[in-house]
Structure 1
């Protein structure tokens, strides 16, 4: 059995481009982003509302983060799929489009998650300070 890989086959693998733009992948990525984004917004709103009602509870507990992280992961997944589809539709080869999407999507997702966490923490701190000021008055 010959296990040698023909360089022409390897080159055609890395240069493969879809015959038509991947509209289905782009639509699927958009759908995943929209549905996960709505669920993410609702879960953040609900968790922050619970915290505002009871500011003494532990902010950012593991369960709260988990309830917020699942929809966020779906949002990031949808962004990655849509990004790969967009790259393929402008002529980037399929392998490189997925490679770029798999490398950049977690980085962008991490930056967004970090920014959202800082913003939520700042809002919680502002609310707590405001509550303390009203109690002292």
Structure 2
């Protein structure tokens, strides 16, 4: 008789909480850096934004999302290898797209100020 393994509910909740807390830290760090930039308009401030200070919470978000996604797939009875084989490439791909888009937005912000990001003015 085959016995199903216990679903990783703890890892599911831990991944969710890890992603939420890291997202909160990412939000606070990004807001603080953009406010500092808006006060002095230094290009160095925005250039330093994509450094370790912002990347560390972003990495926490990615790890939390990967753990949550893999655990969620495992809850439905898929093997652990398949779950992480699916979750890791999806997380890496999405993280790369988000990080590169953030870089492009910061460049737009640096070149044109906050008016460059105003979507209401686009016809």
Which TM class, normalised by the smaller chain length? 0.7 to 0.9
57-66 or 75-84: bigger deviation: 57-66
* Structure of larger gyration radius: 1
Partner of 1:84, secondary structure, is helix
Are residue 96 (structure 1) and residue 78 (structure 2) matched?
A: no
State the alpha-carbon separation in 2 of the partners of residues 121 and 72 from structure 1. 19
Name the structure where helix makes up a greater proportion of residues: 2
Instruction: Normalising by structure 1, report the TM-score.
Output: 0.73
104-113 or 119-128: bigger deviation: 119-128
**Which of the residues 46, 70, 73 maps onto 1:60?**
46
Name the Cα RMSD after superposition. Answer: 2.3
Instruction: Normalising by structure 2, report the TM-score.
Output: 0.80
Aligned residue pairs, count: 114
Aligned CA distance change for structure 1 residues 56 and 24 (closer, same or farther; 3 Å): same
Of structures 1 and 2, the one with the larger relative CO (CA 8 A, separation 6+) is: 1
- Runs (5+) with no aligned partner, structure 1: 1-16, 131-137
Q: How far is the alpha carbon of 1:114 from its aligned partner?
A: 1.3
**Which of the residues 7, 32, 35 maps onto 2:18?**
32
Deviations 1:54-98 (A, max 9, x none): 113414334752211000000000000001001111222111111
Aligned position for 1:113: 99
